[in-house]
Amino acid sequence: MNELPHGLTPEDLQEELEKLDSNIQVGPDITWDEYVQLVRYLLRRRRRGAGAVSGPGSQIQLSPAVLSVPTGTPVGTVVGTLSVVGGIGTYSYSFLSNPGNYFTIVGNQIEVAAALPPPQTIPIQIQADNGLGDRPVISTTISVTVAAYVPTYYLYGF
């Protein structure tokens, strides 16, 4: 198998697995099923903090860390960017909770999807999925703030 999904080559997978268990060998002709089994094994071991891989496993990060958007912001405006740290492969993102459906996720960006309500705090919950069984979740809020006033000037006499 020449190309493996999620950006991991057999060499990458071998390196990660050797950190956990030096008895595991991954050859260049790895099958899809073998690949999936090994990645799931690696993810389970990472979650437990086994071997040289430490930490709680994968986590979703937001940029900026505090999400805020003024009411009246146009549809399609980017509110924040999502990423996964400590994970393996490519992740897709989806809402588990999005009251009012004011926001949408396009790729790895949270965007305004509808006219925003008056100022308030909207709780959201997002799940990432790499297709290999790793599904970290983050719960946070998006603050809808008072729109900034921009004065309009009229020029007469020209």
Largest CA distance in the chain: 85
Return d(Cα 71, Cα 52) in angstroms, integer: 47
Return d(Cα 120, Cα 144) in angstroms, integer: 5
Q: What is the pLDDT of residues 61-72, one digit of tens each?
A: 999 988 999 998
CA 146-105-43 angle, to 5 degrees, is 125
Residue 50: what pLDDT?
41
Residue 6: what pLDDT?
55
Enumerate long-range contacts of 20-28, CB under 8 Å, 24 or more apart.
20/45, 20/50, 20/51, 20/52, 20/53, 21/45, 21/51
**What domains are there in the chain, each with its CATH number?**
5-48 (no CATH), 59-145 (2.60.40.60)
Return d(Cα 84, Cα 61) in angstroms, integer: 6
- C-beta of residue 65 within 8 angstroms of C-beta of residue 106: no
Query: Is 0.85 topped by the overall pTM?
Result: no
Residue 2 banded pLDDT, cuts 50, 70, 90: very low
- C-beta of residue 128 within 8 angstroms of C-beta of residue 91: yes
